[in-house]
Structure formats: C-alpha cells, structure tokens
Structure 1
Amino acid sequence: MKLFKLMEDVNFTSNLPLEEINEIEIKDIAYNSKNCKEGFIFVALVGETVDGHKFARNAYDNGARVFLLQKNMEFNKYAMDLPNDAVKLFVEDTRISLSKISHNFFNKPSNSLKIIGVTGTKGKTTITNYISTVLNESGVNTGVIGTNGTFFNGTYEVTSNTTPESYELHRIFRKMLDNGVKCVSMEVSSGGIMQNRVEDVDFDVAIFSNLSPDHIGPKEHPTFEHYLQCKARLFKMAKHGIINVDDEHAKDIIKAATCDIETFAIENNADLTASNIRYSKEIDSLGVSFDCNTKEETFPCFICSPGTFSIYNALAVIAVCRYLGVERNIMVNALKNAKVSGRVEVLPILPYATVIVDYAHNGVSLENILQTLKNYDHERMVCLFGSVGGRTEIRRKELGDVAARECDVTILTADNPDFEDPMNVINDIAKSFEGSSCEVIKIADREDAIKYAIRNAKEGDMIVFAGKGHEKYQLINGKKLPFDEIAIAKEEAKKVLEERELLA
C-alpha cells in the first residue's frame, strides 16, 4: 500500500517533503521492532513502562525505513539517532494513529462486518460466545474475539489481550471477512478503549452488562470514575446500544450515549424483562428457566448456566438477536445448548459431588458465583482459589472476605503468582478468615490443591475451582507454564473412583 493511502485521515508532519514520500510502498505495519522487515513502517508506542521510541534503531536494523513517532518526541535522542535515509512521520498520539493506519492498511474491514461490542465488568465472555452460538445456528456466520481467543469457521487463534491491539484487531477482521464471516461478537475491555485499540472499529451494536470496581490501580484506571468513562465511550461509537438498567451505573452509560438505546432488566421496567424464574440441577449442568417478556410477546427460555447473572446474559443475547432479526424459535433453541469453557463449567467427574470451574477472579465475581450456587441443593460449599502475584492487595482482601462469608471450606492456593511467593499471597488472603467459621486449608501448589479437593470431596459437596477458568497455564517467574486445571481434576477423580471401587 502506498504511504499516502496508509496515512489517509491521519494528521502528521514529516522530516521530508510529501512529494518525496507519498509513493513509498508499505508492505506491513509493526509496533514491535522485532517484527520489522524491509518495507515495514514501525510505530513507536508509548506505554506505561516502555517507550517504543527506544527501539526505533532496532526497527531500522531489522529493515524498517519509515517511522511513526510522537511529536513531543521529535527531538528524542532515539529518533534523532536514526540514519539519514529514515523517513520520520510525527503525530500527536501514535496509538490513535496505529488504529487509523491499521484500519486503512486492511481496507477498513469492520465497515463490511456487523460488529457487536460487549463491555462491562462481568459477563463479556459469556455474552459474546452465546451471541456467536445463536447467530451461527441461525445461519449468520459469526466470529468471536475476546478473553478465550479468536474463533471463526472452526479455527482458533490465541489473543494476548481481551481486546487485541488495533493492528491485530483489524488484521483479524480482514481475515474473518475474507473467509466469509458476516458478524463479529467481541469483548471490549476498558483497557482496550483507554488505549485506543477500538478507535476505528465500526460498531453496529454495543452491549453494557454491569459495572463494579475492577482494574483500578497504577497501571490501569486511576479511579472508578475513569473506568466508568472508558466503558461509556463505547456507546459513542455504536449505532445501537443495549443496556442492563438494573445496574446502578446504567444511567451514567445512557447519559453519555449518542446511539439509540434499548434496555433489559429483571427488577426494573425495560424493553426486555425476565420473570417466573426456576432453577434446575443435572449431573452435567446447573440451569435456569425463565419467561422472556417483550412489548409484543412472552415466551419461555432455558439456559444451562445457573443464577440471575445467567439470565442477564441471556437477555442481552436475546436483545441483540431480535435487533438483528433472528427467528425466535431458532434463538430459544440455540440458547438451550450454549456453553462457554471455564464459565460456570460443571465437570461431571464425581457422582456424589458437583465440581465447577469458573473464571471468577475478583470479589464481585466470586460472590456472584457462590451466592448463585447456593440456590442449588448442596451440603458443603468448598472453594479453591488464589490471587495474581504482584498485583493490588485490595483484590486479595475482597476475595478472602467473600469466601469467609460464603464458604464452609476454602482451599487457598496459587493463581499466576509470577515473581511473588505464592505463600505471601495466600497469607494475605487468609487474614480475611480471622473469626470466620470457614475452614481454611493452605496448599501453595495448585495441582496439589486440586487433587486434595477432589480426594477429600464428600457427599453433597459443591466444589468451585475459581480464578483460572479457561486458562491453560500458570504464570510463574515471568513464564507461562502449561497447566490444565480441568485435566488434573478429571484424572484425580478417575483415580479416586477406581480406588473406591476396589475397596467396595
């Protein structure tokens, strides 16, 4: 692509006259100097801890001759050290410009796709995957982008962020479009909005699930208000908004929105509501039935995921599918079988206890899952969890406080300890249990902890492995080491059942 075409709608200045550079051919874009080759443009991103300008010379040595730099870095020694044949383009913000040139480079693929963006503290992964399930069932080829990765047409790609960097996002859109995808259901994180990754995505629909304090800290959002404002920005980018008005912050989202709004709720008046809620328990699932009420009709629904939060997720899916014109019977039938790996996933591995894997990794999400599970028959509530190393201690306290209130037994263990001693994290969490009637067991090695939980399960136990969910690794000393929680639980359960059979 010619440089003048790549820089369409980008305000920039250059160290060379435009007539000398406009016809330069750009083969690809790189924001990591290691990925640069001859014909690439290198975009120097300024991060929280790393300044991409420091790697401009590395990018040059790897073949790049065109550089996108921030204006306030014009006299930065790293940019000045580039050889004379380097073409330097200066912009106000390289992140915003990366989004624009990526959009241009891949020929604006989101303009030709139906893009559904889901934001909120909880429910994003479930809602996006349920939307994909229902739309694909209805004949609309739909891809997913989010925490669990990228899925379309039976293919899978790992994503390093819930909402990928703008270049990766538009590359994925182009790949999907070229392979027949018509619609994309994607998670839109507050970080993705804050870092301008979705600046040039043509959103058709935006969904707001809920909001509670999370991702607030030195390297994330400075305040809850900033977190809220980032979420609300999505509703300035979309054509149609679908909002959970039972959430106390919905009014702030609606106030900020510039798109037309549709609402859903269980407790308040809304365009879409749920009533007549019933719970059901099977060996391989915990489900909930409800009646969905619209202005035109009422119809029964079932989803094989427990609790009121599952109903909210289902209402969001129903709202977007109705907006896109999906036939009601197809939508209802597809919802019955919709599941998401690592989200309230029931493992049918012990006939006498219910074992559940869930991604709950903060106080709010853990409280939701534990309180929801109490609606289903059980004897003891057992929860195994940890907290990420090197992160805020507030999250540890919130997790501990919830487990101390809601559980009969808690097994504290590691969850991506990284460079921190897992026992340090465990002991921080354990402070919440002082004066609690909940039994606390500390096992630093997560595999040993899982085996202990399975081996010591009793009749009627409800056992929750929280925090890892879909993840297949443990982050230890900066490295992602293979770790499959579900496989470990299944193998240990198999051994326990074989031993019991031998003793019988």
Structure 2
Amino acid sequence: MAKELTDDSRKVKKGGIYVAIRGLTSDGHDYIDEAVKNGAVLIYGEKDIKVSGAKYIRVKDSREKLGELASEFYGNPSQKLKIIGITGTKGKTTTSHLIYHILTNLGKKAGLISSISVPGLHVTSPDVITLHRFLKEMVDKGCEYAVIEVSSHGIDQKRTAGVKFDMAALTNIAPEHLDYHKTFAEYKKIKLSFLKSAKARVVSRKETKLNVLPGIFNNLNAQLAVDVVIKLGMDEKSAIASLSSFELPEGRLEEIKNDFGYRIYVDFAHTPDSLQAILKYLRSKTKGRLISVFGSAGERDRIKRPEMGRIAVELSDIVILTAEDPRTEKVRDIIKEIRSGVPENYKNVYEEPDRKDAINFALKTARSGDTVGIFGKGHEKSMNLDGKTEIPWSDQKAVKDFLKNIKDE
C-alpha cells in the first residue's frame, strides 16, 4: 500500500495514490496532471482516459473506491469495531451523544464522531479518509464501539464508504436540505438507503414514557438511544439509570445563567419542526414573555423560511429576525422571506441583520420572568456572511459578552 492517499491533487506526495472525484463544482479528473506532477504513482478515476507518468485504473465509482482504499490504508478499522450510525432530520447529535454516554457508563470503551466532536466548520460527516483515520485511532485506543452521526450529505457523497455499520438508527424524517436533494422523496430515499445498508436497524418511537431530559423531543432521543443499546445486548434498566448523569451537548437547549431574573437558551434549532418543538417546551416553562432570535441560512431550503416565521410568532411574544450564515444572499432578503409567513396583525417582529446586535437587543428587552431563545447556530463557532469566508462566531460568547458588559457598567 502506498504511503499517501488523497483525493486532493494539491496534497499528493511522491509515491502516493490519487483518486479523481467528480464534485459539485469541480472535477478531480481535471487535476490528474497536477497529481502526477506532485508524485502520484497510481490514479483511480471514472473516465476512460490515458494518463502519462502514472498507472491509471478506471473504476465505476470513484467515491466508493476511495472509501475502500481508505479502509485498507488504515487497516480496515470498521471491521474491528462495532459501528453504530445515527441519521435523521433532527436529534442526530443528541442521540449520538446519548448512545456514547450510555456505552461508556456501562463500562464499554467507545469513540464518538458527531457534528460537535468533528473538527471543522459546518461539518457533520467528515470526509471519508478522515473518517477511517478516526476509526483507526479508536482501534489503537482499544475501543470496542464507534458511534457516528451520519448526515444525508455524507450518505449521498459516500463519506461513509468502506465503513461496515453493525447498527443504523433513525431519529425521524422531515423535509430538509431540499436545496441539495431537490425533493423530499429523494431525501427520504437517501436516509433509508443508509438504514438498509446496516446489519441491524432501530427506528425512533413516536411516543415514550421516559422523562429523564427536558422536552419531549429529547426524551424521544433518549428512548432511541436506550433501544439501540438494548439491541446491542445491554440491560434496559442500567441504560436508563445511566441517563441521570447525561448533560445535553453544547448548543442543544443550552442555558446560560445570569443574575437578571430571565432565562437564556442557545439551541441549534434551524428547521420548522425543531423550532416548533423547542418553542413549545420553552413556552411551557416561561412565566413571562418568550423572546425568539433566529434567521435562516443562505442558499439553503428557502421553502422553510415562511413556515419558521409562522411558527415563531404563534409561540413567541417577541420575534427578532437576524442573520444565520447568509452566504451570498442578502440578510434583508432572507428576513423578508421569513416574514412572509407572519400574519399582518402580529406587530412584535423586529429586524436586526447583525446577529450580535439582535442578541443584545433581545437581552436588553428581557425582564424578570422572561425567556430568551437564540436559535440556529447552536454549537457552531463560525458564521459565513459572504459565501466565501468563515468568521469566528459563537452565540454563547455573544451572550456572555453582553452579560459581562452589563455587570461592568
């Protein structure tokens, strides 16, 4: 096996293998000459072409081949672990962390790959080479289990190719990422194809008697995690008992404490269903007013924007619309589309394109007994304002900066 494997011609090293991948905006076959120049001795691709200076092997599917090669390169780590994959529209991250928590609390050595634990920006499923490297590191550490959060993009782009899943779990399916998948039917097809690829599968229940976490949605995630470990042969009572020490992941119904008598939550909710679920929960726990701050990501699922506006005003007393990774779209245009779902008679809607100013406005407006919910970014540590650059950003930091400044005044 070669010492290097990559699908990036710029990263090819002498004696390495290069796999040409057709991407959404570029085609790796166009960079084969660069790969050869950089030292590639073996190249895989889908096109019927001749390559000078290196051996070229044509394959049916370059992405599948890259996964196969990555697995071999790292010693087929997924064959030495029990691999559990979690997919779904919402709740993937929390469920992944719940399963990992139960396993480790029951004395099992496990590794976790989630949208929070993976290094990078706006990433759920890492690239396929990195994924196999992570699995190899788990094997080296003596892990028996690997828990992997799996996105629809990751499935479709075969970022999990070469991984043998022992168990696949589905949290739920609702319209999402239709900018990419085009239709809900195609989105469902992708999710279900992953389920079918695993040796065993578990689907979330629609109801549960568990009441170990805040919110019905979180208890459904907990129930799914328990069902998964039961299917792995573990004791149900012990699994449920272990949840007493579980803390929700960063940016999932995360409360930021303060001394001003109101409550502040940061949550990743960025779909109509997830926004409705979190607002219903916060509404039930709020004595005063519920103040919501959110936006909608640019170049993503425009169809959901009016629905999110409608849901927000139905369940909130005050709504503040702002930026959430607008990318190449204008924030004002996105806000206008969200606002199109708001009834004309609802007056407590404010527009503040700058997210920091929007959060500050919400916190200045809040009084004792109120709840401020800040949605859409959750755990993320960057924001994309122009479609090119990720700038440092954290909702939690913005809140804490405001609270500190108030105290210092």
Question: Aligned residue pairs: how many?
Answer: 407
Q: Which amino acid aligns with 1:465?
A: I
Shift of 1:191: 1.7
TM-score (norm 2): 0.94
Structure 2 counterparts to residues 352-371 of structure 1, below 5 A: 352-371=261-280
For residues 449-479 of structure 1, the C-alpha deviation after alignment (integer angstroms, 9 at most, x for no partner) is: 1111112211211211000000011112211
Q: Tell me the distance in 2 between the aligned counterparts of 1:374 and 1:160.
A: 29
Determine the structure 1 residue equivalent to 2:35.
59
Structure 1 partner of 2:230: 322
Q: What CA distance in whole angstroms lies between the structure 2 residues aligned with 1:464 and 1:366?
A: 10
**Stretches of structure 2 lacking an aligned partner (at least 5 in a row):** none
Query: Counterpart of 1:311 in structure 2: which amino acid?
Result: N
| Counterpart residue type for residue 60 of structure 2 | E
Instruction: Find the residue that maps to 1:364 and give its secondary structure.
Output: helix
Report the CA distance shift for 1:440/1:377 in structure 2 as closer, same or farther (over 3 A). closer
> Of residues 282, 293, 306 in structure 2, which corresponds to 1:384?
293
Give 1:458's aligned residue: 367
- Alignment correspondent of 2:199: 239
Structure 1 SS opposite 2:33: helix
Match for residue 164 of structure 2? Answer: 202
Whole-angstrom CA distance in 1 between matches of 2:12 and 2:273? 42
CA contact 1:117–1:188 (8 Å) conserved in 2: yes
State the alpha-carbon separation in 2 of the partners of residues 423 and 115 from structure 1: 44
- Aligned amino acid, residue 319 of structure 1: D
Cα pair 1:363 1:402 within 8 Å, conserved: yes
Cα contact 2:95–2:221 (8 A) shared by 1: yes
Structure-to-structure mapping, 1:47-446, within 5 angstroms: 47-70=23-46, 73-75=47-49, 80=50, 82=51, 84-150=52-118, 157-158=119-120, 161-217=123-179, 220-246=180-206, 266=207, 274-275=208-209, 290=210, 302-303=212-213, 306-328=214-236, 330-338=238-246, 339-446=248-355
Structure 2: distance between partners of 1:223 and 1:185 = 29
Tell me the amino acid that sits aligned with residue 120 of structure 1: G
- Which structure features the higher share of strand residues? 1
> Is 1:36 aligned to residue 4 of structure 2?
no
TM-superposed CA distance for 1:417, in Å, is 1.6
Deviation at residue 180 of structure 1 after TM alignment: 1.9
Structure having the higher Rg = 1
* 1:111 Cα deviation from its structure 2 partner: 0.9
Residues 438 and 176 of structure 1: CA distance in aligned 2, closer, same or farther (over 3 Å)? farther
Structure 2 CA distance for aligned equivalents of residues 159 and 377 of structure 1: 33
Structure 1 unaligned regions, length at least 5: 2-25, 151-156, 247-265, 267-273, 276-289, 291-300, 500-504
Contact kept, 8 Å, 1:69 with 1:89, in 2: the verdict is yes
The residue correspondences of 1:6-21 to structure 2 (distance < 5 A) are none
Asked whether the 8 Å contact 2:320–2:352 carries over to 1, the reply is yes
| TM-score under structure 1 length normalisation | 0.77
Q: Which amino acid letter does the alignment assign opposite residue 406 of structure 2?
A: V
Structure 1 position 468 matched with structure 2 position 377: yes
What residue identity is the alignment partner of 2:336? N
* Cα shift at 1:328: 4.9
**Residue deviations 1:260-303, cap 9 Å, x none?**
xxxxxx1xxxxxxx33xxxxxxxxxxxxxx4xxxxxxxxxx522
Q: 2:398 maps to what in 1? A: 488
Q: Contact 1:138 / 1:327 at 8 angstroms: preserved in 2?
A: no
| Alpha-carbon distance between aligned partners in 2 of 1:350 and 1:474, rounded to the nearest angstrom | 29
Identity of aligned residues (%): 33
Q: How far is the alpha carbon of 1:85 from its aligned partner?
A: 2.1
What SS does the aligned partner of 2:43 have?
A: strand
Letter of the aligned partner of 2:174 in structure 1? S
- Partner Cα distance (1:235, 1:128) in 2: 15
Q: What secondary structure, in the 3-state scheme, does the structure 2 residue paired with 1:207 have?
A: strand
Give the Cα separation in 2 of the matches to 1:34 and 1:175.
Answer: 25
Aligned mates of 2:122, 2:28 — CA distance in 1: 18
The amino acid across from 1:41 in the alignment is I
Aligned-pair Cα RMSD in Å: 1.9
Letter in 2 for 1:479: T
Deviation at 1:64, TM superposition (A): 1.3
Q: How far apart are 1:496 and its partner, in Å?
A: 2.7
- Following superposition, the deviation at residue 497 of structure 1 comes to 4.5
Q: Provide the C-alpha distance between the structure 2 equivalents of 1:57 and 1:176, rounded to a whole number of angstroms.
A: 36
Q: For 1:85 and 1:60, locate their aligned partners in 2 and report how far apart those are by CA, in whole Å.
A: 6
Look up the SS of the partner of 2:14 in the other structure: coil
* 2: CA distance, partners of 1:66 / 1:130: 42
* 1:20 counterpart residue number: none
SS in 2 for 1:50: coil
Distance 2:223 2:21 in 1: 39
Q: Distance in 2 between matches of 1:315 and 1:158?
A: 30
Q: CA deviation at 1:311?
A: 1.2
Show structure 1 runs of 4+ deviating over 6 A.
Answer: none
Q: Is the 8 A contact 2:286 2:370 kept in 1?
A: no
Task: Note if contact 1:344-1:356 (Cα within 8 Å) is conserved in structure 2.
Answer: yes
Conserved? CA contact 2:85–2:168, under 8 Å: yes
